[in-house]
Amino acid sequence: MSRPSPSRCARSVIRRGERAARRLLLAVALLGVPSLGASAGNDTSGCGPIEADASAAPVAVAEQGIAPSAGPGAAEPGEITSLPAPSTSAHPGSIAGEALLALPKGPSGAIPTDFELGRGARVASSFFSPVICATVVRVVGPPEMAIDALVSKLPKTAVVVPNEVYVTAAAEPKPFTPGPDPYRPLQYALDRAGIDAARAVGDGRGARIALLDSAPDTGHRDLEGVRVVPLPEATPAAPAVHGTLMAGIVRAVTNNRFGIAGMAPGADFFAIPVCTPAGATASDECRLYDLLRGVDVAWANGAQIVNMSLVGPANPLLRKAMDRMEQLGVLLVAAAGNEGVAEPRYPASYPSVIGVGAVDRAGRPYERGNRGTSAEILAPGVEILSTVPGDSFAFGDGTSLAAAHVTALLALAVGVSGDPAAARSAFFAAAQAHAASPGAEAAPAPTACDVLGRLGHPCPKP
C-alpha cells in the first residue's frame, strides 16, 4: 500500500522545522567558538560594519613566483638540480564550492544567526575574529554551487565572499653550494642597509615579528630561536622553502660560524603557517580563511610587525583585517608580487599596508616586480642569499624577499624606540629623503642608521 503524500500545510511545517533546526545547529556551532586574544576582543574601537571593498573587482592575477637566479658564488649549472620553472598559469582564484560568511558583532555584542544555507551546503568550520569583530564561517557545498546558492539568506550586517587563494610572492631558489669564502660577503643587501654599523645601536631586540607564510625549518642551525605558532586545531606543518627563506633574511643567527647573518637577529620572531607548498616550486598557496585566522593569532601573540610575502585579489574581509590591525598599532608589510604589472595587488595596495617592490644590487627595478600602488617602497630582492630547509642555503629573486628586508629594518627601529608608529614615521621620512623626486610613487628602502638616527639613536661615527 502506497504511503499518502503529506498535505501542503504539512510540507510547509516540515520545511520550517528543518530550517529552524538548521539555524539552531549553526548557532550552536558558531557561538561555541572561543575568542582569541582577550585584549583584541575587548577593544571594540573601529569595529562597526564590514564595508564593501571598492577595489575588490574581479582581476586576473598571474603570479609568477620566484625566478631562477644563479647569484654570485653559486655552483655551475651542470652541478645543480634546478627546481621546475615557475608556473605562468592564472592566479588560482577562489576555491570552488566554498564561501566565507562574516557575521559582525552587533552593538549589544550578539552575533546574528538569522541566515540560511542552500541545500547541500554546510558549515565546515568557524571562528570568532577579535580583529575584524566578526564570526567567520567557512561554508562548503558541491563544487559547482555558486556563492549566493551556498548562503541563500543573509542578515543585513553580514558579508559573504569567496574563500580566495593568495600565493607567496617569492622567488624560486637556485641551490647554493658553499665555497671557501664566508657567506656574509655574499649578502649585498645587508651592506646596502648599513647593518654592520647599526649593530652597535640595536639588533631588533625588543621587537616582535609575526611571519604569515609557510612553516620555516626551525631545526636549521641558522634559525635557532625562530618559533612556529600554529593555527588553532591545525596539524603540524612541515618545513617549506618559502617560509624558511623569509625567516633567514630577518632572523638568521649571527656570529655562529655558520651560514649567513640575519638583519634583525635579536628580534622575537614567530611564524604562523597560513600557507601550504604548491608542488615543487617555492610558490605556496594561502587561503583567505587561514590568512584571517593567522592575523588573529598574530595579534593575540603581541606581534608589532606582520610580514606577508604573499599576493592576491582584493577582498573586503582582508581589507577589514588590515585596517583593524593598523588601528591596533601593528605595522603591516606585504610583497607587491612578481608579474611585472602596475595594476593593484593585495594586501600590498591597501593604505594600511606597506607594499614592497624589489630592486637588484645596482638599484634597478626587478624586471618581474609589480609597480604602482603595490610598491611604495623598493628594497633588495634579487640574488638574495637565505636559508632553505635542511641546513642549506639558496639564492632567490622576488618581492617576497624585499618585503622581508623592510620588515627587518622596521624591527630594528621598533626595537630601539619601542614605538611602532614612531618607527614607521622615521622609516618613511628616511625613505622619502632619498626618493627620486618629492612625493615619488616609490622610494628606496633607507639605511638602518638613517632610520635609527631619526629616532634619536644615531650609529657611531666610523
What is the distance between the alpha carbons of residues 451 and 431, in angstroms, rounded to a whole number?
A: 9
C-alpha cell at 148: 549566493
The string of DSSP codes covering 191-219 is HHTTHHHHTTT-SSTT-EEEEEESPP-TT
Check if 5 is active-site.
Answer: no
Pick the catalytic residue from 69, 283, 400, 417: 400
Nearest to 336 by CA among 316, 318, 359: 359
Pick the catalytic residue from 53, 129, 217, 242: 242
Pick the catalytic residue from 53, 203, 213, 296: 213
Q: How far is CA 74 from CA 192, 259, 382, in A?
A: 21, 14, 14
Check if 434 is active-site.
Answer: no
Geometric angle at alpha carbon 454, from 452 and 460, rounded to 5°? 50
Asked if 264 contacts 207 with a C-beta cutoff of 8 angstroms, the reply is yes
What is the distance between the alpha carbons of residues 389 and 434, in angstroms, rounded to a whole number?
A: 37
Check if 400 is active-site.
Answer: yes
What is the distance between the alpha carbons of residues 362 and 358, in angstroms, rounded to a whole number?
A: 11
φ and ψ of 252, to 5 deg: -55, 140
The string of DSSP codes covering 381-406 is -SSEEEEETTTEEEEE-SHHHHHHHH
C-alpha cell at 150: 551556498
Helix residue ranges per DSSP H, 38-129: 38-42
Largest CA distance in the chain: 101
Contacts of 360 (CB under 8 A, 6+ apart): 366, 380, 381, 382, 383
Helix, strand, coil percentages (3-state) for the chain, rounded to 5, are 30, 20, 50
What is the distance between the alpha carbons of residues 249 and 422, in angstroms, rounded to a whole number?
A: 23
Active site residues: 213, 242, 400
